[in-house]
Amino acid sequence: MNDASAEVNKPAADGEPPHAPHQANAPNQANAPHQPHKPHAPLAVFVSGGGRSLENLVALNTSGELEAPIGLVLSNRADAYALDRAALHGLPSRVIDAERALSPADFSTAAFAAAEQAGCGLVVLAGFLRLLVIPEQWRGRVLNIHPALLPAYGGKGYYGERVHRAVLAAGETQSGCTVHFVDNHYDTGPIILQRKVPVLPTDTVDSLAGRVFQEELHALPAAIRLCLDGKTPSPAAT
């Protein structure tokens, strides 16, 4: 899939006459009261690692490039550096089941209950490495970013450097990242958008990972905007 994050300017409606007839009872648009923008419900960002994508979302919110405040940072690991980033920015955070005592279903129930208690409307998996069971009411409201062009190099065990090492071992000439809706399996939900990068003959795991991550910095916020603006198709039930 080509880069789907580029925005397309929608032309004005066709067929309207250059001088529409005067409407005697039409409201005066110039004097109409300003309708303030209704803020979106906060995001819940689920993390397991360093939190670079979380840091990017915070920066974009601060600059005004993304209107998606973060209402909760949730992790399944107490030692995730992303929690330190959350504390630095004054974001509320929760750690659930760091001991991995809960089943996927019970963990998911607790995690989504925390998101609901925080008033969040969209869950973003940003380097989150635990299988979720998506409650029915959250279908179509959970996103994941994956460092490959799904469906290739996805599934259980494909994350982080493992993905890029596999791409290089296979001799691929391009890679990239994918943002997709999350279902009850690893990396199989409907794709929202992808961004591609070349794989160079001189690439190492680190150089390829760095190039892909630069595209992740654009792909994830673009997909969040699409979801918040209702511009993504409803994912099929899985």
Residues with catalytic function: 146
Bridge partners for 146 per DSSP:
178
With beta carbons less than 8 A apart as the criterion, state whether 168 and 205 touch: yes
DSSP secondary structure code for residue 99 in this structure: T
Angstrom CA distances, 198 to 23, 44, 191, 208, 212, stand at: 57, 32, 20, 9, 9
d(CA 39, CA 19): 36
Task: Indicate the DSSP class of residue 11.
Answer: P
For residues 210 and 203, the answer to whether their CB atoms sit within 8 Å is no
